Chain A
């Protein structure tokens, strides 16, 4: 993704609390966009990749900023993808694109459906390409994904957008 991508990217990854993961580093090194871990009430700006912090849910507020929340885990996950998807649907409606990748439970499926119903572009990674297919499968099963794409196709899409 280039530094003039024009959009904000929010990345929600299931991760354990208290353990620094390499994900931040990976992103920071491989993206030409500005890269940040989200803090509470941070303004959402284009050309930035935001990563949801561990042990909090990340929500999108109407004022175009992030709100964090420590409430109960959803599908044993905090951050939960459903929570972020549902609040993004409420604020951005058809103006957002959501992609659901590999994962070991069904977090994200309901949220993706909410997004699809509000007119957002929704994509699930092809379960054949997913290390853990349960997550994209759950979304496909409830018809939440408008497109099911191979990893290579998703990468192409992100680059071209």
Chain B
């Protein structure tokens, strides 16, 4: 994207301040390099100058909603990082199966692929009847897609390789009803999940979970915000509950490292140490 539609750091800050003041959404602790790229992308796609963008953000609430949906990165896959799901199956599921009820939170769930992957995994392990998965995100369009649970056959075909690599039996399409080029997740899996809006920046604890998955969301947060959210996760986990982060994400702060035990260092699976 070398079209000269650059954005200075000062302009980015100005925009962040403005969005916070007018719409109460705080981007100030988001990773700047990626945030900047997303804003420039919006400006390029809409042929907007900085001034136009500011104007639209202040005067048009629908535009802000659209902007928020564009700025967040929603790219996701079912069974992204097959080794992670393998590790879950081996190291976490046996533990979870000893519980009466298993509540899981997928924070930053985008269009639901992670939630349904977890649902399939739990179901295959025989925990389908006693588990429930909460998916949350700030992107309302993605949440709508997640609730529908309908994906294009093309997408599902792309995810099929991941599924194969997790070593689960059968094929990914076994969990969907296929009609023409649309694949609908089976009802028994969909009924075990609930999607709602929740911002990790500004919203607080809403339930207690045996497992929290927050993958590929922290990469968009600066380290201080990551720490704040880790605090929220710690408080939302039941004693000895599990925290799963992305494969390239890790707990960096020494203070927080002390609160979690490492279950799998490669896949960044942690367990809450009882307080």
Which A residues are closer than 8 A to B by beta carbons? 18, 38-41, 53, 55-56, 59-63, 67-72, 82-83, 86-87, 90-91, 110-111, 113-114
Contact = CB atoms under 8 A, between A and B. Distances in A.
B33 interface: yes
Contact of B33 (A56, A90, A110): A90
B37 A39 contact: no
A61 B216 contact: no
B255 interface: no
A40 B250 contact: yes
Nearest to B220: A69
B31 interface: yes
Interface string B206-221: 0000000000101110
Given A67-B34, A71-B75, A110-B1, A38 B248 contact: yes
A67 B217 CA distance: 12
Interface string B11-34: 000000000000000000001111
Given A40-B248, A62-B32, A69 B218 contact: no
B161 A70 contact: no
B162 interface: yes
Contact of B31 (A61, A82, A113): A61
A56 B9 CA distance: 24
A96 to B, nearest CB: 15
A59 B252 CA distance: 18
B145 interface: no
Nearest to A37: B248
30 contacts: A18-B161, A39-B249, A40-B219, A40-B246, A40-B248, A41-B226, A41-B252, A56-B248, A59-B34, A59-B37, A61-B31, A61-B33, A62-B33, A63-B222, A67-B31, A67-B32, A67-B34, A69-B34, A69-B73, A70-B73, A70-B76, A86-B2, A86-B37, A87-B37, A90-B33, A91-B33, A110-B1, A110-B2, A111-B2, A113-B2
A68 B37 contact: no
Nearest to B218: A40
Given A69-B73, A110-B1, A83 B9 contact: no
Q: Which of A60, A68, A70 has the largest count of B CB atoms less than 10 A from its CB?
A: A70
Contacts of B38: 71
B223 interface: yes
Contact of B219 (A63, A67, A87, A90): A67
B45 to A, nearest CB: 12
B33 A18 contact: no
